[in-house]
Structure 1
Amino acid sequence: MKTSLTIALGSALTLASATSQAFTQPTHKRIVTDAVAYMQAHPDSTNFAKLKAAANAAGYSVAQFADAIGQGAYDVDDFSDTYLCGAVTGDCVQAPVFGVGSFVATYTAWWHFQNHSRSGDVHGNDIPGYNNSQIPVKGTEDSLLATWLVGDHLDDGNGGMTGWCFWWSCAEDSEYNSYGITERNYRLDSYSSKSHYDDFEDAAFQPIDNLGQYWYNEFLKRPTAQTLGFALHTTDLLQPHHTWSTSANHHGGWESWVEDNYDAKNMNDDAAVTSALAAFTPLPAGQNDIRPLLTEGGAISYGLGGIVLSSTSDADRSEVAGIVIPHAIAMTVHVLNHAAERF
C-alpha cells in the first residue's frame, strides 16, 4: 500500500508553509528527481533495479516514487520546529521580525549549514554548523541578524531559559521545545548545553550532516520515501553559501538564479553527473553513517563555489552551477544506491 511510504511525525515536528534559506524548494526536489532519472538511465552502474522494485512493491511508478522522495527533500524547509525567544520580551517565534523575513523565512534554516572555514565546534563535531560569530565572510544581513536577535535564545520549553525577569514574573512564551526536540535529534555523537544557545549572536547550531544522519537513521528504522527525502535535503551542502555559512553575500539571489536557469543551463547534464560520481567515496554496504559522503559534498562547494558570494555575473554563476548541481545529483545517487539496499 502507498501508505507504507509515509510516516506520522507526531510531536517530532510540525510543518508550515514558508520557504527557507537553502537551495530553493523546487531545486531541492528537482535534484532528487534528476538523481532517480539518472539511475534509471544507468541501471548497470547504479542500484536502480532495487529502487524500482521498492517503488513497485509500494504501488508506485518510478516517477511517482521519485516525486515522493523529492517532496520530502522539499518539505524540510517547511519544518516548524525551531523557535527563538526574545531576550527582553520572552516572545518565542519561528520566523524573524523587523523586516528580515526576505532572506530567512524560518529559523529552521539554522540547522542547514556546515562551516568549512573552521574545524571543530563546542559540541565536538568535526566541522561546525551555523554560528553567526564565526562567519568567514560576513555580509550586511549577517550583521543585521546579530544586531536584531542579540540575546535571543533557542526555545527550550516551559521553565527553561527566560527573557528579562522582574520581581513579579519572568517573561517567557515557549511555543516549542526546540532544544529538547530538534536540537536533541541533531545532537548525534556530540554534546550540547543550553548555554550554547542562550545568545543568538554566538549560538552554535548543529551542522546539516547531523540533520541528514538523523533522518537517514529514521529511514533505516522504517524505510519510507518521506524520511529518505528528509535526509536528502542535505544537498544544501552543495550550495556554497551553506558551507561558507552566510545569510548574506547574494545568498537569495544566487538560489533564485539557479532555479530560474536550471534547464536553460542544462545543470543536470548526464556526462557531468557521471564525472561527479567519481568525486565521492561510495558508502560501504555495511556502513550506515552517510556523513563522510555528505561532508565530501560540502568540501566541493566550499572549495569551488566561493565566487558566487561576491559575483552575480551570469558567467560566474554558470560556471559554479555547472559544478555544484551535478555534484548534488551525484551525491544523491550515492545515497540512493545505499538506501535501495534497505527497502
Structure 2
Amino acid sequence: MLPDRITRLQYSSGDLADPLVLSTSRAQVNMKTFLGLLIAFISVSGNENQEVTVKGVSAQNILLPCSCSSRNPDKEVIWQINKTTVLRHQGNTSDVSASYEGRAEILLTKNDNNCSLLLSNITLADRGTYKCNFHSTVHNQALFHTVYNYAFIHLEVSVSYSVCQKPGSGNDENGSVRVFQCDVTRRHPEDQIDWQLDGQPLEKPSTTDATYIAPTGLQHLSSNLTMELNGSSEPKCVVKNPAISTSISYSCSEHTDPSIQDPTFVKSVISSSVIVAIVLLLVFSLVLYHCQTSKRVTEEKRAGVTSSELWELNVS
C-alpha cells in the first residue's frame, strides 16, 4: 500500500529535500558525466609520430614520406612548409599552390594509406621543414576517437656538379712536377674550385679562369694546379659553395663538347653557317639566271627563223 505522503529527509544543513527532486538531479549529473566521457572519446588529440630528414639533389625528384594508416577519408590531408600550404587533398581532389603547380603530387591517388608527397624538379627554394597533417580514426566499441596526426620532414637540397679532372702532365725532366687541370660549369656566383690532397685542403696557389658559355649564360671554370708530388697521392679538385651543399660526380663526358670547352665555338659555328648560306644563295641565283638567259636566247632564235621564212614566202 502506497504511503499517503512522501517522506522527507533531513540533511545536516537543516534543509529538507524532496526525493523526487534528488532523483532528477542525480539523473542530470549522470547524464552530464556520460556526455563528458563521450566528448572525451570523440575529442581530437595530437600525435606526432614521424620526423625524418630527406636529402635531394637539385633538378631531380624527391619523395617526402608520410604514412597515414587508419586515415579518416572525410578529413583533409594538408602538406605545409613553414606554415605555408603546399597541397590540400580531400576525396579525390588535390589543390596545389601556385609555386608547386605541376611539381607536387600526393600518393593517396595510388594508396589510401600513403600520404607521401612527390616533388619533381626540386630547387634550392624547396629547402625547409615540411609538415604532413591528417586525421585517423580509432574505434572503441560503440565510440570512436579521432586522432590528429602530423609528421615533420626536413628537406635538404644540394646542387649536382660534374667535374672533369684531367691527369697531371709532367712539367720537368724527372716528371715530379705535375700540372693538373679541373673543369666545371659554374651554376651559382659563389661556386669556386678548391684542391685537396688526401682529403685535406691544399694551400698551393692555383689559377682559375672563368668564361661564359653561349647561349646558356653560365660560366665555365677551369683551374690549373702546378705542384711537386712527393708521394703516390694526387690532388683532387672539388667544388665549394659557402651557401649550399654540393654533390660531385667525376666525369669528362659533359666537357668533351667543344661548346663547353671553348665558348667561342658556338659563335664560329653560327658565322660559318651564315657564310655557307650566303654562298648557296649566290650559286642558286647564278644557276637561275643562266637558265632564264638560255631560255630567252632559244626563244629569240626560234622567232628569228620564223620571220625569215615568212619574208621568203612573200618575196616569191
TM over 0.5: no
Larger relative helix fraction: 1
| TM-score, scaled relative to structure 1 | 0.21
- Which structure has the larger Rg? 2
Report the TM-score, using the length of structure 2 for normalisation.
0.22
